[in-house]
Structure 1
Amino acid sequence: MAAFEDQIRVLICQGTGGLAAGAKPVEEAFQAEFDKHGVDAKVGKRCTLVGTGCRGLCANDVLVDIVIPGQAAVTYDFVKPEMVPQIVEEHILQGQVVEKKKAGPYYQKFLEKQMRVVFSRCGTIDAESLDDFLAMEGFSGIKKAVTMTPQEVIEEVKKSGLRGRGGGGFPTGVKWSFCAASPGKEKYLICNADEGDPGAFMDRSILEGDPYGLIEGMMIASYAIGAEFGYVYVRAEYPLAIKRLQKAIDVCYEKGFLGKNCLGLGFNFDLRIKAGAGAFVCGEETALMASIEGERGMPRPRPPFPAVRGLWTKPTNINNVETFANVSYIFYRGGDWFASIGTEGTKGTKIFALTGKVKHTGLVEVPAGITMREVIYDVCGGILNNRKFKAVQAGGPSGGCLPGEAIDAEVDYDSLIKAGAMMGSGGLVVMDETTCMVDIARFFLNFTRMESCGKCVPCRIGLKLMLDILERITEGRGQEGDIELLEDMCYDIKKASLCGLGQTAPNPVLSTIRYFRHEYEAHIHNQRCPSNSCKALLKFEVVDAACKKCGLCYKICPVDAVIWEKGQLAVIDKEKCTKCTSCYDACRFMAIE
């Protein structure tokens, strides 16, 4: 941060989460206070407001860092405009940290075991500023790469051990070498930013917080494989990401970083954004290419693979946002440095989006090989309301559910596959004892069924039939043999489906049957949901022995179905009760069945 030593910087999280929490009014409040007090003159330095990308701890937005040269940065969380005058007057003008308003010890705990490489610029620089990017090693990677031959660039990426971060984990350098070796001068480079997994927003945050970093990574790849034209395929539901990336591309053209003779380094590269319509199946590379070509986004059989016959029938290389973002750092610091991080089979760091029943939701970047327990408990603070950890869905709707006994599994490609899940793009949905695993399988299968393109019968019809069975089970109408039938259908659909969506869609069902078979059996044989989650099977009765007479259920019930007086046991009026589960979710003592 030496480039910023001449100024006090106020870093305000203005990713999508920060803006939704009110970052703009907070920025306006800071500017008003600066104008009111003449801050620059009083502190003897320029005081700069910086709108950064996502800081990671999204649940605590708006996050604000006060960075005074020569001092450690101080983070304030849950910042509102009315807090700003005190922060400016006491911290910036008088040098006294407002202890009551700054982030608690959990924020340092949140960062302690992280290793922020790809996210090192997100949250520390103005996402829209080329000057800020250049001050943080920006474009030094491509300048180093062009001093090497394209083959040497590919070998450096191979040496780093970087595997694709989009889900499959295929070695990036090997993938590049296939496209580079394909005959023909016309080749294409595509960045897959069609991030469709529920609860996943890693790629979006990189685009919002470090768009120039993505551009640099793609420039290195284009030089290595000999592609002169690239696309970033990003879903239209990411308007802020598209806006900032487009601005970065425009600035790069204006400054000569893109186009003919990029940076005067002797190679050409043009880059364009293609906004997708939000079809989950377009995350599959052949469907993505069909969408760019103006066709309906439907997968095609492989081979031929895109490296041989891809976009417009030309050799094409496709990687996702996080993969390209890692490439820049390989050339800043070397392939050996990158390979020194992580495990034997998974090098570098991995970004995860944690959602669900965890105390501190958001984005974390950790070295590969860290355990799931460390991610959930050490980084993200553990389970909400201190309830019991039950499972984590790893790898998005195509991943598997890992049970409590697998919590010490290492977070890398090979360990997660062995445990019955997958790394995927990096979504982790944490579940506690109130989560029904049969219903979770139904939820994710419903998602993939709706997102199926319908081209092949196993996916189009098979997923619908499986969903019908799961819905019957969660409604208490399960039949003997349903579990075995689900397993048979899972294996058939995985084998016969055309693309990765159908081939992986049964994974949540298979993993929940593998680890939580007893829950399926309770639903089918006893018409009982062990987690008290499936509405059709709920009784909604207060357990007198467990009730603490606190009245939480009474206060939260939206239809006044709970009868309670101070110091008395609660009673649920069955006639009024709509089975919304609000009382069950609110009760910390598991006193409601």
Structure 2
Amino acid sequence: MSKIKSFNELKDFADKLKPILYMRENHTKENPEKREILVCGGTGCTSSDSIQIIENLRTEIKKADLEGRAEVHLTGCFGFCAKGPIVKVYPDDIFYTQVKPEDASEIVQSHLVNHKVVERLLFKEPSLDHKKVEKHNDMSFYKKQSRVALRYCGHINPENIFEYIGCNGYIALGKCISELSPIEVVEEIKASGLRGRGGAGFPTGIKWESASQTPPGQKYVVCNADEGDPGAFMDRSILEGNPHSVLEAMAICGYAIGSDTGYIYIRAEYPLAIKRLKIAISQAEDAGLLGNNILGSNFNFKIELKYGAGAFVCGEETALINSIEGKRGEPRMKTYIPSKRGLWNSPTCLNNVETFVNIPAIINNGASWFRKYGTEDSPGTKVFALGGKINNTGLVEVPMGTTLREIIYEIGGGITNGRKFKAVQTGGPSGGCITSNNLDTPIDFKSLSSIGSMMGSGGMLVLDDSDCMVDICKFFLEFTVDESCGKCTPCRIGNKRLLELLTKITDGKATLKDLDNLKELATTIKNTSLCGLGKCAPNPILSTLNNFYDEYLYHVVDKKCPAGKCQSLLNYIITDACKGCTKCARVCPAKCITGKPKEKHEIDTKKCLKCGTCMSNCKFNAIIKV
């Protein structure tokens, strides 16, 4: 496309394209027979053949002679990842779940040709006694969500700049360049109260103001896309579903602080996000929305990608800066404030993906609009990756102040298999475990901190009564030990000692003195580590010691794991339900099961490897673990 040379030209172009969402939802007014089919193209769904679904749908549409009356579009993540691949048909607003490539023919013939919904592909709502639901707005998963950061994910083609412009894309950038001074842009972001969504929650406007007040010269804008929390995929989904919104926001930041260069630091394990960012950058440059003299002004801004090797510690801003500079990914002392001395010792404004993606919406709609969401202390919305023992897993965006109970039992649909809720871990491996006593806690920075947890980047892991809290702590600590950069002693050595103590506990070799040492060491590491990785690594231990101390006592005093997860503390026993089929003895790798055919067998617990092979192969459920 030719370069757009002015803000007025951009607005005219956007008006001609018309809002994409309006066209898809209201085709019946202009073309009653026209159907738009959107297919999720996020990583989760593409790994389940959604690209093949698109190809099959197009083939079937051609066979049915429906070209011109039905179009298939690639789009970003719808968020309901557990039910993907997802196919949505506009303007009928029909939401198909768990679609397979071979379903394409039935969708075209039944829905498009005969105007009959394919009921077997509809979502079965657990809260409505598994009643089939046609529209996503009728699903409990979506009802309480308010999409700001995810506003166009699942609605537009992320590889087509026209669709983004058709939804007022780059209008905020044009407004800033043409109608607002850099100071006015900073003041608007300050007024919005937007806080960093990467974990620490630092006020974004204050960060921008600090960088803008440095003397003129080389400055940098950096987007932290190094999403490292286990199970977190918020930033990845935004980059895959709406990359232009991040580019636009970075350019706005560049204008506000006086920078002409931006870097997106993204882990190399995100190939689809990288591919779409490259496409988006190229398209924006061709349209004159990135590069030199943007929209005919004297403002220049370019964006480059920098790849990370997957180090969790590089999510910390100074470690990330070191990595971009080609140095070892280690944090710097906090005497280095990036807004004053950051990338290559120049003033640097660094925010994560979710923080940036809120910027265009704030500029377009105003700070007061943004403050209608959330709380006084934590305005806006927050995206969470909801996972674990929950019926509805996926991406959830809710206003700050929404309670944990609402997310788990209304949006999440409750605990799987009718089991009892035990805890929810927020903040990933750096967060804390929250019990049922605090389920009515509103989700905001201050409230979560007050109960020993944290917002983090947005991981939310739900646990049920079959989970062992000591084992969960051990899992998270194994991760943080592996990801420590090793620069400071408390983190490098201390976390290894914590892991050794947890291993003693799960092996049934610990004493009550070890529990005292565990708490003392965790507190010391939290208070003395150099960066956020070390300071927050003990959080799961401290929160579980506070909320589940009796579970630690079971492991230490009784040498038992109440949840039956810690293998060293388990024994497998054959009950009277045994029929003497001999299968358990035949599959046992340790050959520790004896007994005659058609008679009850026995397990030699001293020889038993506790692998569970016998239990999983028993047809009569005659083997239990105690």
**TM-score higher than 0.5:** yes
Q: Paired residue for 1:289?
A: 321
Q: Which amino acid aligns with 1:139?
A: Y
> Match of 2:44?
17
Residue in 1 aligned with 2:5?
A: none
Aligned partner of 1:449 in structure 2 is: 481
**Residues 588 and 384 from structure 1, CA distance in 2 versus in 1: closer, same or farther, beyond 3 angstroms?**
farther
Q: Superposition pairs for residues 31-430 of structure 1, below 5 Å?
A: 31-40=58-67, 45-68=68-91, 71=92, 73-105=93-125, 108-146=139-177, 147-430=179-462
* Per-residue deviation, 1:363: 0.7
Cα contact 1:561–1:573 (8 A) shared by 2:
no
Q: CA deviation at 1:484?
A: 1.4
Give the C-alpha shift of residue 548 in structure 1.
13
The 1:18–1:574 alpha-carbon spacing in structure 2 relative to 1, beyond 3 Å, is farther
Letter in 1 for 2:285: Y
In 1: Cα distance, 2:358 partner to 2:609 partner:
50
Residue 509 of structure 1 corresponds to which residue in structure 2? 541
Whole-angstrom CA distance in 2 between matches of 1:195 and 1:81: 31
Cα gap change, 1:589 to 1:276, in 2 (>3 Å): farther
Secondary structure at the residue paired with 1:481? helix
Q: 1:431 aligns with which of 457, 463, 475?
A: 463
Q: CA deviation at 1:579?
A: 3.1
In the aligned structure 2, how far is the partner of 1:59 from the partner of 1:540?
Answer: 33
| Letter aligned with residue 167 of structure 2 | M
Aligned equivalents of 2:616 and 2:464: distance in 1?
13
Structure 2 spans left out of the alignment, 5+ residues: 1-20, 127-135
Equivalent in the alignment of 2:518: 486
SS at match of 1:490: helix
- What is the CA-CA distance between 1:345 and the residue it aligns to? 1.2
State the distance in 2 between where 1:187 and 1:47 align.
48
Instruction: Map Cα deviations across residues 334-363 of structure 1 (whole Å, 9 max, x no partner).
Output: 110001111121111100001211112111
Deviation at 1:452, TM superposition (A): 0.6
Flag the 1:331–1:12 CA change in 2: closer, same or farther, 3 A.
same
Distance 1:443 1:59, change over 3 A: same
- Cα 1:570–1:93 shift into 2, 3 Å: farther
CA distance in structure 1 between the partners assigned to 2:574 and 2:352 by the alignment: 50
Structure 1 residue 193, shift from structure 2 partner: 0.4
8 Å Cα contact 2:525/2:538 also seen in 1: yes
Secondary structure, counterpart of 2:123 in structure 1: coil
With over 3 angstroms needed to count, the CA separation of the structure-2 counterparts of 1:116 and 1:572, relative to structure 1, is farther
Give the distance between the partners of 2:599 and 2:76, measured in 1 at CA: 49
Say if 1:278 and 1:200 are closer, same or farther in 2 by CA, change over 3 A.
same
After superposition, the Cα gap between the structure-2 partners of 1:39 and 1:17, relative to the gap in structure 1 and judged at 3 Å, is same
Runs of 5+ consecutive residues of structure 1 not aligned to the other structure: none
Q: Name the CA shift for 1:179/1:138 in 2 (closer, same or farther; >3 Å).
A: same
Report how far residue 591 of structure 1 moved.
Answer: 6.8
> Cα distance, 1:572 vs. partner?
7.8
Deviation of 1:571 after TM superposition, in Å, equals 7.7
Structure (1 or 2) with the larger CA radius of gyration: 2
Q: Distance in 1 between matches of 2:610 and 2:407?
A: 34
C-alpha distance in 1 between matches for 2:253 and 2:492: 36
Name the CA distance, whole Å, in 2 between partners of 1:268 and 1:585: 66
Relative distance call for 1:580 and 1:76 in structure 2 (3 A) is farther
- Going from structure 1 to structure 2, the CA distance change for 1:569 and 1:239 (only over 3 Å counts) comes to farther
State the one-letter code of the partner of 1:111.
Y
In 2 relative to 1, CA 513–335 (structure 1 residues): closer, same or farther, beyond 3 Å? same
Change (3 A) 1:585 1:436: farther
Deviation, 1:218, is 0.9
SS of residue in 2 equivalent to 1:246: helix
- State the match for 2:503 in structure 1: 471
Q: Does structure 2 conserve the Cα–Cα contact (< 8 Å) formed by 1:562 and 1:571?
A: no
* Residues 523 and 93 of structure 1, relative CA distance in 2, 3 Å threshold: same
- One-letter amino acid of the counterpart of residue 133, structure 1: Y
Say whether the 8 Å CA contact 1:160–1:336 is kept in structure 2.
Answer: yes
Q: Distance in 2 between matches of 1:478 and 1:137?
A: 61
The alpha carbon displacement at 1:253 in A equals 1.0
Distance 2:252 2:237 in 1: 21
Quick one: structure 1 residues 100 and 562, their matched pair in 2 at CA, closer, same or farther if it must change by over 3 Å?
A: farther
* Cα distance in 1, alignment partners of residues 82 and 366 from structure 2: 35
Structure 2 letter corresponding to 1:13: C
Q: What displacement does 1:581 show?
A: 5.2
Q: 1:572 to 1:251 in 2, by over 3 A?
A: farther
**Which residue number corresponds to residue 579 of structure 1?**
610
Query: How many angstroms apart in 1 are the aligned matches of 2:623 and 2:410?
Result: 25
**Residues 569, 462 of structure 1: alpha-carbon distance in 2 compared, 3 angstrom cutoff:** farther
Determine the C-alpha separation between the residues in 2 that align with 1:23 and 1:535.
39
Q: Is the 8 A contact 1:543 1:592 kept in 2?
A: no
Paired residue type of 1:91: H
Gap change, CA 1:140 and 1:569, over 3 Å in 2: farther
**Aligned-residue RMSD, C-alpha:** 2.7
Which AA in structure 2 matches 1:16?
T
Q: Which amino acid aligns with 1:78?
A: Q
Amino acid corresponding to residue 291 of structure 2 in structure 1: G
Q: Work out the CA distance in 1 between the residues paired with 2:108 and 2:385.
A: 33
Q: Is this contact kept in 1: 2:529–2:535, CA < 8 A?
A: yes
Instruction: Output the TM-score relative to the length of structure 2.
Output: 0.87
AA aligned to 1:120 is R
| Distance change (3 Å), C-alpha of 1:123 and 1:387 | same
Match of 1:440? 472
Shift of residue 592, structure 1, vs aligned partner? 4.8
Distance change in 2, residues 1:140/1:406 (3 Å): same
Task: Decide whether the 8 Å contact of 2:570 with 2:625 is kept in 1.
Answer: no
Give 1:346's aligned amino acid: S
Q: Deviations over 1:273-302 (max 9, x none)?
A: 101111111111111011101111111101
Classify the secondary structure of the residue corresponding to 1:49. strand
Tell me the CA shift for residue 500 of structure 1.
1.0
Percent of residue pairs bearing the same amino acid type: 47
Deviation of the 1:137 alpha carbon: 1.6
Amino acid at match of 1:348: G
Structure 1 position 518 matched with structure 2 position 580: no
SS in 1 for 2:548: helix
CA distance in 2, matches of 1:526, 1:151: 64
Q: How far apart, in 2, do the equivalents of 1:16 and 1:176 lie? A: 32
The 2-side partners of 1:375 and 1:258 are apart by 39
Aligned equivalents of 1:34, 1:152: Cα separation in 2 = 51
CA distance in 2, matches of 1:420, 1:83: 47
Q: Secondary structure at the match of 1:441?
A: helix
